[in-house]
Chains A and B, each alone.
Chain A
Amino acid sequence: MTEASTEPQPLLRVQDVRKEFPTHRGEVVRAVDGVSLEVRKGETLGLVGETGCGKSTLARCIAHLYDVTSGSVWFDGNELTGLSRRAMRPLRREIQMIFQDPYGSLNPRRRVGSIIGDPFAIHGISKGAERKKRVQELMELVGLNPEHYNRFPSDFSGGQRQRIGVARALALRPKLVICDEPVSALDVSIQAQIINLLADLQKDFDLTYVFISHDLSVVRHVSDRIAVMYLGKLIEVSPTDQLFEQTRHPYTRALLSALPVADPDTADSREQIILAGDIPSATNPPQGCRFHTRCPKARADCVASEPPLEPVFDDDPAHRTACFFPLTIGEDLSTAVPELVDLPDREAS
């Protein structure tokens, strides 16, 4: 989307954040387990991963909807961790979220005008006719008919509801918008409309996005940089083009090869990497590198210790990978045989 600006201080800095949840069985789910990253003003950081990777939890830690178990979150020079609700309030105007479910994220019993006007009401900005005017401007901005001010969410389609969510998030002109799977629940033709809308708004309002999705093709389209998560950890972070052209981590490569491509020639000819087994449980993650139970290249070293997230080979410092045996360009992973075979639940393919 837009070019990343060359400001010295990043807009968002996440430092070694961990978030744990207790389960009712007395165990602990390490949803986010030591994640550090930065987001520069004006850029779009894509956050990608599958179920249980922790991307949604991380998003909510950034938005201060959860308190982190350890680590810190810095926004525009302010530390968010440990802030009281009152102290956090003014900062909430700067950080907003767009949610995944267009049906669940809007209160079905409230009128749309009231929903979009909520931020104004909560922060005591503008009332009455002035507020209505602003809300209607927002509705126009996101492509909704301002005359539908008094309608209920159930009167709108999924794509339109998502637009309402966008309008609500933009009401207070935030700096950072966290988009949690904003298009996953929408039809393909509507997805494109919303993606375009988000791109336009970013340009017009100088927004910074953290864009979370499980759909790599969408993430590739919108992001300047991409961070791939697996079981609570970052396994590869890189500028977008490099992630696809110089994939280093076997999981990223598997993710890319699993992504269905709407092109029969590509589908027929590309390598198929079918990962073994399931995503392990987050209460009892594998030792060492978390991915080793499913990795086609797993060796003994991978169980012994966790690989650090750092540039490998002669990569750009912006491209970091957490792997002891990263992929070389052109390496054929589909014929790789792991050196560890007797792992639990690893199926013979």
Chain B
Amino acid sequence: MALLEVRDLRVSFDTPDGIVRAVRGLSFSIEPGQTLAVVGESGSGKSVATQTITGLTRGAEVSGTAVFDGTDLITADAPTLRRLRGAEIGMIFQDPLSSLHPLYRIGWQIVEMIQAHDRGISKRDARRRAADLLTLVGIPRASERIDDYPHQFSGGMRQRVMIAMAMALDPALLIADEPTTALDVTVQAQVLSVMRKLQQEFGTAIILITHDLGVVAEMSDEVIVMYAGAVMERAPRRDIFYRNHHPYTQGLLASLPTQKGKRLTPIPGSPPSLISLPPGCPFAARCPHVFDRCRVETPPLADVQGDPRHQSACWLDHDVVEAVA
């Protein structure tokens, strides 16, 4: 049974410039212990989707279902969502500075969160658990540093504190929204390694939102590629890189700098406006393989080469994949 099953999620915002359709029919599921990477550039809707699922978006029109362990998060009331957030679903954001309260000590913040969900626990036990968590994520001298303020930690350390807080109640699902984008490369490696370690120890499922295909290659089991609010391709990790189907996926991979000197093949143009999307496939304007049908009918997600685990939203022949040596 899937841990989280999202069906046809649609999110739109009413703005003075028009209705912004940020997410247009997103469906996916994630099994316990699995890592699902959601890849997309800015405007793809990847952050809006997960924020909406956990009830953190305000002023949006939402439809569709997101069933987590039997409860539909979209229709759940505020107290239910609050209970689930933290205890069952942990969240990490890109900028730990804005997620951690600057005026309270780290230890206090973690303890407070633990006690909010587990009323029976004593302060001393909660504190001990907080210190254990900090050690687990690799903060040296955790029992001393537990009384430090967020600004006393470096960026990478702060992100680890965020992870500790997110994992404090042993959630079944961890949603990490660009957790390492703002960090240096060597620090990123440390943080990703911590996440992998925690996943192995606690069996947490992870939804990892990122624009970095390298991180995807390292961390994921399954990958969803989003563009203009919809899923373009969904596949197991190796398939996305070595046997991909959708021209957008191919375009993304082709624009990555690999060796020295070879001219890059970028995707021409820029992402479309989410207010006045033309009919048909959202990628049609930039696709090198576009033909007439693409501009008229929106292609649905369909199996590639008969494999239900690999789907692509494209009118091109689904029996042919781009095999990369």
Q: Restricting to A233-273, which residues have a CB under 8 Å from any CB of B? A: 240-241, 254-255, 257-264, 266-267, 272
**Residue pair A260, B270 in contact (C-beta under 8 Å):** no
Known: A279-B184, A347-B138. Contact between A192 and B154, CB under 8 A? Answer: no
Q: A190-B266, A190-B270, A191-B255 are in contact. Are A220 and B260 (CB under 8 A)?
A: yes
Q: Are B216 and A262 in contact (CB under 8 A)?
A: yes
Name which residue of chain A comes closest to B139, CB basis.
A347
* Smallest beta-carbon distance B167→chain A, Å: 18
Contact A262–B255 (Cβ < 8 Å): no
Query: Which of B156, B214, B216, B241 is close to A259, meaning CB atoms less than 8 Å apart?
Result: B214
Chain A binding surface, main DSSP class: helix
Q: Which of B79-87, B91-99, B108-116, B188-196 contacts A (4 or more CB under 8 A)?
A: B188-196
- CB of B211 within 8 Å of the partner chain: yes
**Contact call A274/B189, Cβ cutoff below 8 A:** yes
In this complex, the interface size class of chain B, counting residues with CB under 8 Å from chain A, is 35 or more
In the complex, what residues of B have CB within 8 A of residue A274's CB? Answer: 189-190, 193
Cβ of A42 within 8 Å of any chain B Cβ, yes or no, is no
Q: List, in ascending order, chain A residues with CB within 8 A of B41's CB.
A: 187-189
A264, B217: Cβ atoms under 8 Å? Answer: yes
Q: When the two chains form their complex, are residues B218 and A267 in contact, meaning their CB atoms are under 8 A apart?
A: yes
Whether A188 contacts B252 in the complex (CB less than 8 A), given A214-B184, A216-B185, A254-B186, comes out as yes
* B119 at the binding interface (Cβ < 8 Å): no
Q: Which chain B residue lies CB-closest to A219?
A: B257
Interface residue B62 (Cβ < 8 Å from any Cβ of A) = no
Query: Given A187-B42, A217-B256, A258-B185, A51 and B155 touching (CB < 8 A)?
Result: yes
Least CB distance, B269 to chain A, in whole angstroms: 9
CB pair B258–A260 under 8 Å, yes or no, is no
Write the nearest CB–CB distance from B320 to chain A, whole angstroms.
Answer: 21
Of the candidates B186, B256, B258, which one forms a contact with A188 in the assembled complex, judged by CB atoms under 8 Å apart? Answer: B256
Cα distance, A266 to B263, chains bound together (Å): 22
Say if the beta carbon of A195 comes within 8 Å of chain B.
yes
| Chain A residue at minimum C-beta to C-beta distance from B264 | A192
Q: Considering only CB atoms, which chain B residue lies closest to A281 in the complex? A: B154
- CB neighbors of B among A278-301 (8 A): 278-279
- Asked if A154 is an interface residue, CB under 8 A from chain B, the answer is no
B267, CB-defined interface residue at 8 Å: yes
Interface check A145, CB cutoff 8 A: no
Complex interface: chain B residues within 8 A of A157 (CB): 270
B238 part of interface (Cβ distance < 8 Å): yes
Contact-residue bracket for chain A: 35 or more
Q: Is the CB of B266 within 8 A of A262?
A: no
Task: Point out the residues of chain B lying under 8 angstroms from A215, CB to CB.
Answer: 185
Cβ–Cβ < 8 Å partners of B187 in chain A: 50, 278-279
Whether B259 sits at the interface, judged by CB under 8 Å, is yes
Is residue B310 within 8 Å, beta carbon to beta carbon, of the partner chain?
no
Bound CA–CA A195/B181 (angstroms): 20
A187 to B251, CA, bound (A): 13
Docked complex Cα distance between A280 and B192 (Å): 21
Q: Does B104 contact A (CB under 8 A)?
A: no
Confirm or deny: B261 has a beta carbon within 8 angstroms of a beta carbon on chain A: yes
A272-B238 in contact given A188-B41, A221-B264, A255-B186 (Cβ < 8 Å) = no
* B255 and A278 contacting across the interface, CB-CB below 8 Å: no
Task: Tell me if B291 is interfacial: C-beta within 8 Å of chain A.
Answer: no
**The residue from B42, B156, B241 contacting A263, defined by CB atoms under 8 A apart:** B241
For the complex, what is the distance from the CA of A193 to the CA of B260, rounded to whole Å? 16
B217 close to A263 (CB less than 8 A) = yes
Counting chain A CB atoms within 10 Å of each CB, the highest count among B139, B260, B265 belongs to B260
A-B contact pairs, 22 of them (CB 8 A): A160-B270, A187-B271, A192-B267, A193-B268, A195-B257, A196-B264, A196-B266, A217-B257, A217-B258, A220-B257, A220-B260, A241-B260, A258-B186, A258-B189, A260-B188, A260-B218, A263-B217, A263-B241, A267-B217, A345-B140, A345-B141, A347-B138
Which residues on B are within 8 Å of A, measured CB to CB? 41-42, 138-141, 154-157, 184-190, 193, 211-218, 237-238, 241-242, 251-253, 255-268, 270-271
> What 10 A-B pairs come out closest when comparing CB atoms?
A260-B214, A192-B266, A221-B257, A192-B255, A258-B189, A50-B184, A262-B213, A187-B41, A189-B267, A192-B264
- A241-B260, A260-B212, A347-B138 provided; 11 other pairs, C-beta below 8 A? A51-B155, A188-B211, A192-B265, A215-B185, A217-B256, A258-B186, A258-B189, A260-B188, A279-B187, A345-B141, A347-B139
